[in-house]
Structure 1
Amino acid sequence: MKRNVLIIGAGGVAQVVAHKCAQNNDVLGEIHIASRTLSKCEAILETVRDKAAMKTDGVLKAHQVDAMDSAAVAALIRDTGAQIVINVGSAFVNMTVLDACLETGAAYIDTAIHEDPAKICEIPPWYGNYEWKKRDLCAERGVTAILGAGFDPGVVNAFARFAIDRMDEVKSIDIVDINAGSHGKYFATNFDPEINFREFTGTVYYWEDQQWKETRMFESGRDWDLPVVGTQRAYQSGHDEVHSLATNYPQADVRFWMGFGEHYINVFTVLQNLGLLSEQPVTTAEGQKVVPLKLVKAVLPDPASLAPDYTGKTCIGDLVKGVKDGEEVEIFVYNVADHKDAYEEVGSQGISYTAGVPPVAAAMLVATGEWDAGTMKNVEEMDPKPFFTLLDGMGLPTRIKDAQGDRPWNA
């Protein structure tokens, strides 16, 4: 059994992770959190104490570390005795944190694919460009690495696996992410603006007819009639989970759809057309070098600041189509989360909540041995049932909707 957790990162998702680790520290043991800014880590731990979230008495400690420095991360892993690392820092630090886990033997869990700050939307499959290159080394050293264990990627990968396991043949996987909530700001992103915009400024890759195809952001949209949130417009987007699902289920079409309102699209379009979403530096008339995307990030609201006034719900799920006993079937596996409920429980908005709860569930399964694979795995390669069981009790219940009706996954 593995014990003691080191959380890398100090944003909105890290706050959820810290609270959920505290609520389950009887399983996870000591809880450590680290980022470049010690005060941010200490502020998160203060919210944990304010909510009296610790299930049992134990260690709850903040640390400073540059996660881009693999040796420093490895030293911190050794100093804390952490056997599980939950990386919810920037996607730019994945590989250095993974290398630290490979050096120390700690299990590694992340919530997104690694990104190179100098590149936008690389040629797929993205996992193949970075994390998967370390797969053999993980197996050789017996290091567990669970990739993309947030919600999307993460829970939606498990949704796909669960639906496919109920079929004889899978034909398509459409992942739909709808945030029907309102934060009350003129314009804001629900997570790191830099990462958010980078997802949407490049080519949209999707898997269809057993080959990669391309479109542009906001070119391919459709209305989805979903439980609780009703009919919502969503657009085909490039996203992490398409890359692993297309590899593990190459016979299926795999697409990702995200909901956007007209206001978001208008603001995004203006920013992009003005060149303000570029990751490449420009020089001002005064001779200063500025990265436009980082400037936009600096002037937008911190996603964590949205939580107190956020209302409404999210609906995220997979519509999976296939064949069972010679008949065409379709199953929608999904979750609905509430922004206000998330804030009352952990002080975060619903997007951070849906992203932060699953890696803690994954860590618990690693701790107990059920997901302690001793190699690198994407979530769809793991048994989804114990994952769903934990998520049900941690605030993210899974439901299915098919020809037999709408019900809990295990009903």
Structure 2
Amino acid sequence: MKKNVLIIGAGGVAQVAAFKAAMHNDVLGDINIASRTVSKCQSIIAGMLDKKVLKRPGILVAHELDATDIEATKALIRRTRSQIVINAGSAFLNMGVLRACLDTGAAYIDTAIHEDPAKVCETPPWYGNYEWKHREECERKGVTAVLGAGFDPGVVNAYAALAAGSYFDRIDSIDIIDVNAGSHGRYFATNFDPEINFREFTGTVWSWQGRQWTGNTMFEVKRTDDLPVVGTHTTYLTGHDELHSLSANLDVPDIRFWMGFSEHYINVFTVLNKLGLLSEKPVTTAEGDEVVPLKLVKAVLPDPVSLAPDYTGKTFIGDLIRGTHNGVERELLVYNISDHEEAFAETSSQAISYTAGVPAVAAAILIARGEWDCHHMVNVEELPPVPFIELLGRMGLPTRIRDARGDRAFDPAEFRRERKAARSGA
């Protein structure tokens, strides 16, 4: 059984992960939080102590760490005796933190795919460009590495595995839909790191269609759906992490990701993009100063963490899955609704961070218990989905299912009945 957790990062997702890990320190042991700016970690800990979130008395420590320094990261893992590392920092850090885990034997968890700061919307498959190159080493060393264990990627992968394992004989399409129906009251802001957020949309957006990668421009393709709780929303086809593992691990011809944006967001984004202010390439000002436009925009926008106190409304994230079961066409919607105000009351964070941070800690708990301690590198859809989905429900992210039989809470017993029927051919 693995013990002691090191959380790398001090943004909104890391804050949620720290709160939730502390709430389960009877299983996870010591909780360590590390960031380049140690005062941010200390602030998170102060908030946790104020809310008295520790399940039992235990170690809760802030550390200063430049996670681009692999040797320093390895030293911190060893010094804190951390057997599980949750990488909740920038996606630019993934490969360095993974290397530190490979060299120390600690289990590795992240919530997003690695990104190269010099490359935007790379040619697929993204995991194949980075993390998957280390699968053999993970296997050889017996290191557990769970990739993309946030919500999307992460929980949506588990939803796809759930459907493929019992509810369908053949899946024809998976449409992952992500809608933030909340409001933060600011003129313009992004819900997570602006630099990572904008990079997803400024180049080619890739989707898996007809069993091949298909490129589009952002906001070129849209759809409208009547969704539970949040109502009717228009979403836009974009690229996203989970497509790059689901397309390899599941036999599904069409897998797409759709995200909701307001007209205001689209207008501001379009102006910034056309002016070149979302470029990751440096420019030189008339005064001779070199500036990266995207980093400048990030600097003047609100810190996503600061949005949490004023956020109202809900989020919807789910998989709309179509295929056949016993020769009959079937449609299944598996989804979660999260509330911004409830997330803030519990973790002082908004629901976007909550939906990404809680699953990472659920993964850590399953690794600590041994259920997901697989000793090799996996994406979430390669692991048993039911323990994950059940645990998430107990931790604040309940799953619901909507199909021809109605809309209902996820019931593991129903999953087992469906699976048994699928195996018997009933």
Q: Following the alignment from structure 2 to structure 1, what is the Cα–Cα distance between the partners of residues 48 and 159?
A: 30
Q: Give the secondary-structure state (helix, strand or coil) at the position aligned to 1:240.
A: coil
Q: CA deviation at 1:167?
A: 1.0
Q: CA deviation at 1:322?
A: 1.1
Q: CA deviation at 1:408?
A: 1.1
Q: Residue 402 of structure 2 aligns to which amino acid in structure 1?
A: K
Q: CA deviation at 1:252?
A: 2.7
Alignment match, 2:418: none
Q: Residue 300 of structure 2 aligns to which amino acid in structure 1?
A: V
Counterpart contact for 1:173–1:318, Cα < 8 Å:
yes
* Identity across the alignment (%): 68
In the alignment, structure 1 residue 374 sits paired with structure 2 residue 375? yes
TM-score, normalised via structure 1 length: 0.99
Counterpart contact for 1:183–1:307, Cα < 8 Å:
yes
Alignment match, 1:205: 206
In the alignment, structure 1 residue 173 sits paired with structure 2 residue 200? no
In the alignment, structure 1 residue 11 sits paired with structure 2 residue 8? no
Alignment match, 1:238: 239
Q: Give the secondary-structure state (helix, strand or coil) at the position aligned to 1:214.
A: strand
Alignment match, 2:422: none
Q: CA deviation at 1:99?
A: 0.2
1:94-243 alignment, distance < 5 Å: 94-165=94-165, 166-243=167-244
In the alignment, structure 1 residue 300 sits paired with structure 2 residue 301? yes
Q: Residue 128 of structure 2 aligns to which amino acid in structure 1?
A: G
Alignment match, 1:247: 248
In the alignment, structure 1 residue 29 sits paired with structure 2 residue 29? yes
Q: Residue 409 of structure 1 aligns to which amino acid in structure 2?
A: F
| RMSD across aligned positions (CA) | 0.6
Q: Give the secondary-structure state (helix, strand or coil) at the position aligned to 1:149.
A: coil
Q: Give the secondary-structure state (helix, strand or coil) at the position aligned to 1:387.
A: helix
Q: CA deviation at 1:293?
A: 0.1
1:63-102 alignment, distance < 5 Å: 63-102=63-102
Q: Residue 229 of structure 2 aligns to which amino acid in structure 1?
A: V
How many aligned positions are there? Answer: 411
Q: CA deviation at 1:170?
A: 1.0
Offset from partner CA, 1:216-257 (integer Å, 9 cap, x none):
100000111100000001000100001101111243310000
TM-score, normalised via structure 2 length: 0.96
Offset from partner CA, 1:347-369 (integer Å, 9 cap, x none):
00110000110000000000000
Q: CA deviation at 1:307?
A: 0.4
Alignment match, 1:258: 259
Q: CA deviation at 1:145?
A: 0.2
Q: Following the alignment from structure 1 to structure 2, what is the Cα–Cα distance between the partners of residues 269 and 126?
A: 25
Q: Following the alignment from structure 2 to structure 1, what is the Cα–Cα distance between the partners of residues 328 and 249?
A: 23
Q: Give the secondary-structure state (helix, strand or coil) at the position aligned to 1:301.
A: coil
Q: CA deviation at 1:215?
A: 0.7
Offset from partner CA, 1:139-194 (integer Å, 9 cap, x none):
00000000000000000100111112121111111000000000000000000000
Q: CA deviation at 1:202?
A: 1.1
Q: Following the alignment from structure 2 to structure 1, what is the Cα–Cα distance between the partners of residues 222 and 323?
A: 23
1:265-284 alignment, distance < 5 Å: 265-284=266-285
Gapped regions of structure 1 (runs ≥ 5) = none
Counterpart contact for 1:164–1:320, Cα < 8 Å:
no
Offset from partner CA, 1:110-134 (integer Å, 9 cap, x none):
0000000000011101000000000
Q: Following the alignment from structure 1 to structure 2, what is the Cα–Cα distance between the partners of residues 206 and 251?
A: 12
Alignment match, 1:310: 311
Q: Following the alignment from structure 2 to structure 1, what is the Cα–Cα distance between the partners of residues 11 and 205?
A: 27
Q: Following the alignment from structure 2 to structure 1, what is the Cα–Cα distance between the partners of residues 72 and 331?
A: 48
Q: Give the secondary-structure state (helix, strand or coil) at the position aligned to 2:387.
A: helix
Q: Following the alignment from structure 1 to structure 2, what is the Cα–Cα distance between the partners of residues 224 and 179?
A: 14
Q: Following the alignment from structure 1 to structure 2, what is the Cα–Cα distance between the partners of residues 263 and 345?
A: 30
Q: Following the alignment from structure 2 to structure 1, what is the Cα–Cα distance between the partners of residues 252 and 93?
A: 32
Alignment match, 2:424: none
Q: Following the alignment from structure 1 to structure 2, what is the Cα–Cα distance between the partners of residues 238 and 251?
A: 17
Q: Residue 184 of structure 1 aligns to which amino acid in structure 2?
A: G
Q: Following the alignment from structure 2 to structure 1, what is the Cα–Cα distance between the partners of residues 127 and 28?
A: 28
Q: Give the secondary-structure state (helix, strand or coil) at the position aligned to 1:85.
A: strand
Alignment match, 2:420: none
1:309-328 alignment, distance < 5 Å: 309-328=310-329
Q: Residue 195 of structure 1 aligns to which amino acid in structure 2?
A: I
In the alignment, structure 1 residue 333 sits paired with structure 2 residue 334? yes
Q: Following the alignment from structure 1 to structure 2, what is the Cα–Cα distance between the partners of residues 70 and 333?
A: 39
Give structure 1 regions of 4+ aligned residues with deviation exceeding 4 angstroms: none
Q: Residue 172 of structure 2 aligns to which amino acid in structure 1?
A: K
